[in-house]
């Protein structure tokens, strides 16, 4: 679901900060928070059974906050009226995740005895905590949420907005501390104060989980999360948004909700082996990327680039997939040799000089007798000159091409480029509008 125009773009998380603070004041939040506060208030009075009531109050509160996180991540900007059964196991995994990360910090402290190292590990874990929570929501997998590589992948995909979101979460935490101090000063530490502290903590818990959910929603395309078309933010009301919902995608999403991300990937792979639609290819790639499955991404890229170029005739998308694969592996090459020239021509039109250089590098060694050798290296010379200003290297390549391929149809263009490099200043051609 691409939102390219300013009117319909998804606001950044910091732009939505006032609504994040206001989110817990929705009626569904107030009703749930009031109910759990009542259970908590009764529980702290009663022996034995009171402990169970307090436990139910805290678990129920966290369960509701987890529901809010998942609903927001899927595009619903209002809290859920009915609690989701899917988040029950998700909540248990979040508690296990928290326990596992605390255990990691304790293990470092015991093993090293260094307060400095323990503090650094604690800070790193605290910084990665939102990413780990988001992974649980996106994949319903505790193992992936405990994987530091998965944290890094999420943070990398979100970019600098993740750092701002962490600062906002710290701000919420600081605000909670101040609010709890004020509540204790006003109500004391008796029954009324205890219930007041529970309400304050619940308010900030819901707001924090809503913020993390919104960060997922804001970056849902980069993270490979499907959003619900009927639940998108009310600010886009009146503009129908369609979300791809093929049977294969529906089945994959259901498996993800059940915690079977590997099964979702396998199901999509089977579908793609029989053809597949563009949105199914994209979802498959995003799931692979989210889990860091580099080799499978590259393998799929070799097939998908040809499908995009020669089947769907979507040369821009093919170029973007090629760039993604080159970032994963600079030695990546398309399935067919002819595709190198087709992609290099597209990249040249978009003035993506660095990608042209990477793509055409070594083509003559791999395919010494291929008819595209001359034109591939002509485009490489253009990229070296226009992209890097490497006049000597570009002239050397052009000279070799003119001598080796005197009858080539591009000889005139090669000579004109060589003349331009020798005589004139660098003037890069304007890229084709995206």
- Looking at residue 98, what is its pLDDT? 83
86 or 24: which leads in pLDDT: 24
| Beta-carbon contacts of residue 425 (< 8 Å; ≥ 6 apart) | none
- Burial tier of 93 (Cβ tally within 10 Å: 0-12, 13-18, 19+): buried
Show me where the domains of the chain are located.
Answer: 13-232, 324-434
- Residue keyed to tokens 């020669």: 310
Whether residue 414 contacts residue 401, with contact meaning beta carbons closer than 8 Å, is answered with yes
Average pLDDT over residues 19-46: 90
**Does pLDDT of 3 surpass 70?**
no
Whether residue 402 contacts residue 418, with contact meaning beta carbons closer than 8 Å, is answered with yes
Report helix, strand or coil for 239: coil
- Looking at residue 352, what is its pLDDT? 87
pTM of full prediction above 0.85: no
- Burial tier of 150 (Cβ tally within 10 Å: 0-12, 13-18, 19+): buried
> Is 324-434 a CATH 1.20.120.530 domain?
no
Whether residue 23 contacts residue 207, with contact meaning beta carbons closer than 8 Å, is answered with yes
Query: Is the alpha carbon torsion for 320, 325, 329, 331 positive or negative?
Result: negative
How far is Cα 346 from Cα 325, in angstroms, rounded to an integer?
16
CA angle 264, 271, 288 (to 5 degrees): 45
**Does pLDDT of 430 surpass 80?**
no
How far is Cα 432 from Cα 141, in angstroms, rounded to an integer?
42
**Does pLDDT of 249 surpass 60?**
yes
Could you tell me the pLDDT band of residue 210, with boundaries at 50, 70 and 90? very high
Whether residue 110 contacts residue 254, with contact meaning beta carbons closer than 8 Å, is answered with no
- Looking at residue 425, what is its pLDDT? 52
Report helix, strand or coil for 261: helix
Dihedral angle computed from the Cα positions of residues 393, 397, 400 and 402, in that order, rounded to the nearest 10 degrees:
-130
- Looking at residue 429, what is its pLDDT? 53
Which tokens is 268 given?
């999509």
**Rounded alpha-carbon distances, angstroms, from residue 359 to 305, 373, 410, 433:** 13, 12, 20, 22
- Looking at residue 104, what is its pLDDT? 86
21 or 6: which leads in pLDDT: 21
Kindly report, residue by residue over 39-54, the tens digit of the pLDDT.
999 998 887 788 899 9
- Looking at residue 363, what is its pLDDT? 92
Query: Is the alpha carbon torsion for 411, 413, 415, 421 positive or negative?
Result: negative
Lowest mean pLDDT segment, chosen from 171-175, 233-237, 272-276, 402-406: 233-237
Average predicted confidence (pLDDT) for the chain: 83
- Looking at residue 87, what is its pLDDT? 58
Average pLDDT over residues 220-249: 58
- Looking at residue 88, what is its pLDDT? 61
């Amino acid at each position: 679901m691409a939102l390219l125009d300013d009117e319909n773009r998804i606001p950044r998380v910091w732009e939505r900060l006032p609504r994040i603070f206001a989110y817990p004041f929705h009626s569904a939040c107030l009703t749930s928070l009031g109910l759990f506060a009542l259970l908590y208030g009764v529980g702290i009075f009663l022996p034995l059974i009171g402990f169970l009531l307090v436990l139910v109050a805290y678990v129920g509160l966290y369960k509701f906050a987890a529901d809010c996180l998942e609903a927001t991540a899927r595009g619903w900007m209002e809290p859920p009226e009915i609690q989701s059964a899917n988040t029950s196991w998700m909540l248990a995994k979040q508690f296990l995740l928290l326990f596992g990360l605390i255990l990691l910090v304790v293990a470092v402290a015991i093993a090293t005895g260094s307060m400095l190292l323990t503090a650094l590990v604690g800070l790193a874990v605290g910084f990665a905590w939102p990413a780990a929570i988001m992974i649980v929501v996106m994949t319903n997998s505790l193992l992936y949420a405990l994987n530091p590589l998965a944290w890094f992948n999420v943070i990398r995909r979100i970019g600098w907005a993740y750092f701002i979101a962490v600062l906002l979460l710290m701000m919420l935490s600081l605000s909670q501390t101040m609010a709890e101090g004020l509540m204790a000063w006003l109500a004391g530490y008796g029954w009324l104060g205890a219930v007041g502290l529970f309400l304050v903590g619940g308010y900030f818990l819901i707001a924090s989980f809503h913020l993390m959910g919104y960060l997922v929603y804001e970056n849902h395309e980069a993270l490979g999360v499907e959003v619900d078309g009927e639940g998108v933010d009310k600010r886009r009301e009146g503009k129908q948004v369609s979300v791809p919902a093929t049977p294969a995608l529906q089945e994959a999403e259901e498996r993800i909700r059940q915690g079977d991300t590997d099964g979702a990937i396998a199901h999509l792979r089977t579908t793609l082996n029989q053809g597949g639609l563009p949105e199914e290819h994209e979802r498959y790639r995003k799931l692979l990327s989210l889990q860091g499955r580099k080799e499978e991404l590259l393998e799929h890229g070799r097939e998908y680039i040809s499908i995009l170029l020669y089947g769907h005739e979507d040369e821009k998308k093919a170029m973007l997939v090629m760039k993604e694969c080159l970032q994963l592996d600079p030695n990546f090459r398309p399935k067919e040799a002819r595709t190198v020239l087709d992609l290099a021509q597209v990249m040249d039109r978009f003035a993506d000089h660095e990608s042209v250089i990477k793509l055409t590098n070594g083509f003559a060694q791999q395919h010494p007798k291929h008819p595209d050798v001359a034109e591939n290296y002509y485009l490489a010379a253009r990229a070296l000159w226009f992209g890097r200003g490497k006049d000597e290297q570009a002239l050397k390549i052009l000279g070799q091409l003119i001598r080796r391929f005197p009858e080539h149809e591009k000889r005139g263009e090669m000579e004109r480029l060589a003349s331009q490099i020798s005589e004139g200043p660098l003037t890069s051609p304007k890229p084709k509008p995206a």
